[in-house]
Amino acid sequence: AENLSFWEACEELRYGEQSRIPEIVDSIYQQFLAPGATRWVNIDSKTMERTLEGIKTPHRYVMDDAQMHIYMLMKKVGEGRAGQGRAGLGRSLTPLLAQDSYPRFLKSELYRNLLAEAVIPPETKKRVFPFMRKQRHSSPSP
């Protein structure tokens, strides 16, 4: 529901009154893109960066990249549901997660803090033949 509402708000921005553009851009940002937004939509970090940069000088096409991203997500979800059920949905979203969520996580403060506090294990001696298992000590048989 949030994705469709976001798309409709972007359409209002594109075709609405010129005098209301700054107000509509701010409203879209507050409702859908701001941290803690009540109707938050998930767009990739690169699209978010371009959109946030564009918001500094609002114009009627400032949300185009984000709107296209949301449109493609809605299209993928629709195709996944129509053709393959939930399994198709997972396959269609996996590339998105790989392209966006994981890289964004690696840049996050949470991950940086985790790395800073991580315990680094001491180096272990490497075996000459890594395919050979370490022999276990067995108890004497009766």
CATH code assigned at 18: 1.10.167.10
pTM of the predicted structure, to 2 decimals: 0.56
20 touches 28 (CB < 8 A): no
The domain tally of the chain equals 1
Give the pair of three-digit tokens for residue 41.
């939509």
Chunked mean pLDDT (size 10), the chain, 142 residues: 88 93 95 90 90 93 92 72 45 49 70 78 60 59 58
91-123 burial code (b ≥16 CB/10 A, e <16): ebeeeeeeebeeeeeeeeeeeeeeeeeeeeeee
Interatomic CA distance for residues 53 and 60, integer angstroms: 14
Domain assignment present for 116:
no
103 inside domain: no
In a domain, 99, yes or no: no
Domain-embedded: residue 102: no
- Predicted local distance difference test score (pLDDT) of residue 31: 93
Residue 61 lies in a domain: yes
**Eight-state DSSP code of residue 33:** I
The SS3 call for residue 70 is: helix
Residue whose pair of structure tokens reads 């993928």 in the numeric block: 76
pLDDT at 123: 61
- With respect to residue 9, please indicate whether it lies within any of the assigned structural domains: yes
Q: By residue range, what is the domain housing residue 42?
A: 1-79
Give the pLDDT score at 100.
54
Identify whether 124 is part of a domain: no
